[in-house]
Chains A and B, each alone.
Chain A
Amino acid sequence: MASEKGIKLLDFWVSPFGQRARIALAEKGVEYEHKEENLLAEKSELLLKSNPVHKKIPVLIHDGKPVCESLIIVQYIDEVWPDKAPLLPSDPYQRAQARFWADFVDKKVFECGGRLWKLKGEEQEAAKKEMIEILQILEAQLGDKKYFGGDTFGFVDVAFVPLTSWFYSCETCANFSVEAVAPKIVLWVQRCMERESVAKTLSDPKKVYEYVRFLKKRFRIE
């Protein structure tokens, strides 16, 4: 694997984590080879070799060297291609805030969202309550800013926006409305979708829902 030049991204079409990397690469105007892994079948040798610890996508392979974990990949991309579309602010305090909120999104949104569509009854209600709280916290953090990063699209925006394709699935499975609890977030999503990097990358929420229904059948959650 050592001295193969170029950039490869190991990905899975619906993965919001892979989409973080794709948005970052697009913002920076970086050319790369996109390799779709079929996670529903066997993992490729390249994936197993590039991420032996977790065997997960996304993996960015730069000149033969693998970088794993989506937010680490985004930071790497930001550092290697610093001249265009900087994603992390230059001020240390603002950087710390950006890292904190991206980490919050990581810890809270996907996991809680997963419980929303996987569980039923009381457990689902509990997850719904939690998700509403999480969205309200993020709504407050966004406030009246154009992006989480302020006037410029940044690290937290990249971290969060791919997860918003899953809102429709959460709303449908758990019967609630994101717009009702976090209208500013919904408008922020629309603004992000005006960016080519985001529009070309995010999955159609209806396709995500089809995928969620497929998973539910496969794991007999119905």
Chain B
Amino acid sequence: MAGSGTSDVKLLGAWASPYVVRARIALNLKEVQYEFLEEQFGTKSELLLKSNPIYKKIPVLIHDEKPVCESMIIVQYIDDVWINSGPALMPADAYDRALQRFWTVYVDDKFVPSLFGIMRSPTEEAKAEAKEQALASLQLLEEAFGKISKGKPFFGGDTIGYLDIALGSFLGWMKAFEEMNGFKLLDDTKTPLLCAWADNFCNNEVVGAVIPETAKLVELAKVMQARYKSAPPAN
């Protein structure tokens, strides 16, 4: 296990996946040189199937031929390995770590499904419900930010950390949905802290390089929505 110059690091991913963005932000913050292997939309490469036989999903980090799967497990792994490079992604205090892990699970289990529910919902009614749930989740995250950031710009304090990466990786898609649907998810009056945080996050040079462009995501979303509409109804 050596520094970024001598080890072999590959990331299997796709430009639009927020889960892949998580891994890329972590790698970039730690200044790790890596090869990005883009999976083609709709197909799975042999390397992917071999590296992640359980879920067959991206991202997969392959470090010296050994695969690591699941985006936030990858982020923790990057933090553990490249410990002397870049900022620490996890806070030093065990309780603070538990809080960031808790809210990361919340993002994954509650916020993200409601966010993508906005795109996937077959009826206007279901879409409205998904939107309400997404907004309610963001309200809780706003309160959590107030407590965890302790007045600093990020959940991680002065620097981007674990929970920032977990939530911030979805900002590209959030902006795409705001544009497509003509409503705001982050709002100056309801979630002022998260609005400021989102600006700080996206303006960070490491992040800016990997968050997908809103216009491209909107285009992709339209393609995906057409697929959902033309697919036979799920039982």
Which residues of the partner chain B approach A95 to less than 8 Å between Cβ atoms? Answer: 76-77, 80
Flag if A76 contacts B94 (CB, 8 Å).
yes
> Which segment of A2-10, A28-36, A99-107, A150-158 sits at the interface?
A99-107
Shortest A99–chain B CB gap in Å is 5
| Chain A facing B: main interface SS | helix
> Which segment of A37-45, A64-72, A173-181, A202-210 sits at the interface?
A64-72
Flag if A72 contacts B80 (CB, 8 Å).
no
8 Å CB interface, B41-77 against A:
54, 63, 66, 68-70, 73-74, 76-77
CA A79 to CA B66, docked complex, whole Å: 26
CA A96 to CA B67, docked complex, whole Å: 10
8 Å CB interface, A89-141 against B:
92-93, 95-96, 99-100, 103-104, 137
Indicate whether A62 reaches chain B with its CB closer than 8 angstroms.
yes
CA A69 to CA B70, docked complex, whole Å: 18
The chain B residue sitting closest to A93, CB to CB, is B66
Which residues of the partner chain B approach A96 to less than 8 Å between Cβ atoms? Answer: 68, 73-74, 76-77, 80
CB < 8 Å neighbour of A137 from B54, B68, B76: B54
> Which segment of B100-108, B170-178, B179-187 sits at the interface?
B100-108
A62 with B105: in contact, given A96-B76, A99-B76, A137-B54 (CB under 8 Å)? no
Which residues of the partner chain A approach B1 to less than 8 Å between Cβ atoms? Answer: 92
| Chain B facing A: main interface SS | helix
CB < 8 Å neighbour of A69 from B74, B102, B140: B102
Flag if A79 contacts B94 (CB, 8 Å).
yes
CA A113 to CA B102, docked complex, whole Å: 25
Shortest B22–chain A CB gap in Å is 14
Flag if A92 contacts B81 (CB, 8 Å).
yes
Name, among A75, A92, A103, A104, the residue most crowded by chain B CB atoms within 10 Å (CB to CB): A92
Flag if B101 contacts A75 (CB, 8 Å).
yes
Indicate whether B120 reaches chain A with its CB closer than 8 angstroms.
no
Which residues of the partner chain A approach B102 to less than 8 Å between Cβ atoms? Answer: 67-69, 72
Flag if B101 contacts A69 (CB, 8 Å).
yes
Name, among B54, B74, B76, the residue most crowded by chain A CB atoms within 10 Å (CB to CB): B54
How many residues from A make CB contacts under 8 Å with B?
21
A93 with B98: in contact, given A72-B105, A103-B70 (CB under 8 Å)? no
CA A92 to CA B90, docked complex, whole Å: 14
CA A96 to CA B79, docked complex, whole Å: 11
CA A53 to CA B103, docked complex, whole Å: 10
Which residues of the partner chain B approach A76 to less than 8 Å between Cβ atoms? Answer: 94-95, 97-98
A53 with B106: in contact, given A75-B98, A93-B68, A104-B54 (CB under 8 Å)? yes
Shortest B89–chain A CB gap in Å is 13
Flag if B95 contacts A62 (CB, 8 Å).
yes
CA A201 to CA B128, docked complex, whole Å: 45
Flag if A100 contacts B98 (CB, 8 Å).
no
CA A53 to CA B143, docked complex, whole Å: 12
Flag if A92 contacts B80 (CB, 8 Å).
yes
CA A72 to CA B109, docked complex, whole Å: 14
CA A103 to CA B101, docked complex, whole Å: 13
Which residues of the partner chain A approach B105 to less than 8 Å between Cβ atoms? Answer: 69, 72
A to B CB contacts below 8 Å, 11 in the list: A67-B98, A79-B97, A80-B94, A93-B66, A93-B68, A93-B77, A95-B77, A96-B68, A96-B73, A99-B76, A103-B70
- 8 shortest A-B CB distances, which residue pairs? A92-B80, A79-B94, A96-B77, A76-B98, A96-B68, A67-B98, A72-B101, A99-B73
Known: A76-B98, A99-B73. 11 other contacts (CB 8 A): A62-B95, A65-B95, A72-B98, A73-B98, A76-B95, A76-B97, A79-B94, A80-B94, A93-B63, A96-B77, A100-B70
